Structure 1
Amino acid sequence: MSKILIVSDSHGSTELLDAIKAKHASEVDQMIHCGDSELSEDNESISGFTSVKGNCDFYGDFPEEALVEVDGYKILVVHGHLYSVKSSLLSLSYRAEEAGANIVCFGHSHLLGAEKIQDVLFINPGSIRLPRGRHERTYVILELKDGKADLRVYDFDLGEMGSLTQEFSVSK
């Protein structure tokens, strides 16, 4: 069993990242930031996160994508702007297939969502600073256990909002 904290689009807020790390770092095995942190990679607030470059990341030297392996699952991390995720997940699904990813974490649209396309789980944790389509500043903790993905959605201000467990099964 592994727990992965997934955030995106913090847009310069070290306070939000520090608070989320303080609350969850001891309970998760991995932390992912899907870009637009607007921080440099040596900033203490982004340390400990596997981070990628977003379209607003001008200060750091983050990679465009990262491939993380957790318990035999391959997790592709991108921001999403290079794959036009605001209009479709098609390009990103092709990239996931090329990378052999089971799970894709992305941001850019600031819209919370999870979707399974073929055998790949796509997760957008929303934005912890500038949400769109809702007022909650969201992030996700993904728990992988026995081939199931349990997605727990959190509002920064109010805590856990809910869980989707039976919705997704992920194969290695």
Structure 2
Amino acid sequence: MKILVASDTHGDALVLQELLTEYPHMDGYFYCGDSELRASDPVFDTWRAVQGNMDFDPGFPMTLTVPVGAHTAFMAHGHKYAVGWRRDELVAAGVAAGADIILYGHTHVALAEVHQNVLVVNPGSISQPRGDLAPLGGMYAVVTVDDDGRRVEYGTRTRGLIPKLTRTFPVGSE
């Protein structure tokens, strides 16, 4: 299972189209909110999206639970779960939804970790990155789950995937 995850484009629909062109054969495309676009924008014909704190179109759901092959992804922007300080509320919501992958945005900071044996991923912001990795430019994530484990690869709009940022978690790791 391989998915593409992006968030926090803040009006930049072009980058979402560029990512679709660069990654045409994924098992899913997940957008974690703050597009500032309408939910009816054609880009969301492919990207599964949730509402962020800067999205005012009620056509976006606040959360989304999606089966992807043998896995289940739970997605929320994160602002309703206090993700800037902790992830326990977000993890509890994802676990309650039966997810083994949780995707979120809001902080603009790329992060991959495991909580309660659930992979938790923030792709960072493709348009306005923050944190230690911000100098690399806007980020997105490619998440792969297979027999070798759970792998999160990060890429930037201008550099593609950056191998030194890859995080791998064995299946069953905490």
Range 114-123 or range 144-153, more displaced: 144-153
2:43: which partner in 1?
A: 45
Q: Pick the aligned partner of 2:70 from 49, 55, 72.
A: 72
Specify the alignment match of 2:123 in structure 1.
125
1:169 matches 2:171: yes
SS at match of 1:122: strand
RMSD, aligned CA: 1.5
- Write the deviation string for residues 122-170 of structure 1: whole angstroms up to 9, x where unpaired: 00000000000122211011112126212111011111112223x2425
Structure 2 partner of 1:146? 147
Instruction: Give distance in 1, aligned partners of 2:7 and 2:172.
Output: 22
Residue of structure 2 in register with 1:20 after alignment: 19
Partner in structure 1 of residue 93 of structure 2? 95
Runs of 5+ in structure 2 lacking a partner? Answer: none
Structure 1 segments (4+ residues) deviating >4 Å: none
- Provide the C-alpha distance between the structure 2 equivalents of 1:149 and 1:81, rounded to a whole number of angstroms: 25
Matched position secondary structure for 2:130: coil
Distance 2:148 2:40 in 1: 35
With the length of structure 2 as denominator, give the TM-score of the two structures.
0.91
Number of corresponding residues: 168
Identity %: 33
Q: Which letter maps to 1:151?
A: V
SS at match of 1:4: strand
How far off its partner does 1:47 sit? Answer: 2.4
TM-score computed with the length of structure 1 as normaliser: 0.92
User: Is 2:110 the counterpart of 1:107?
Assistant: no
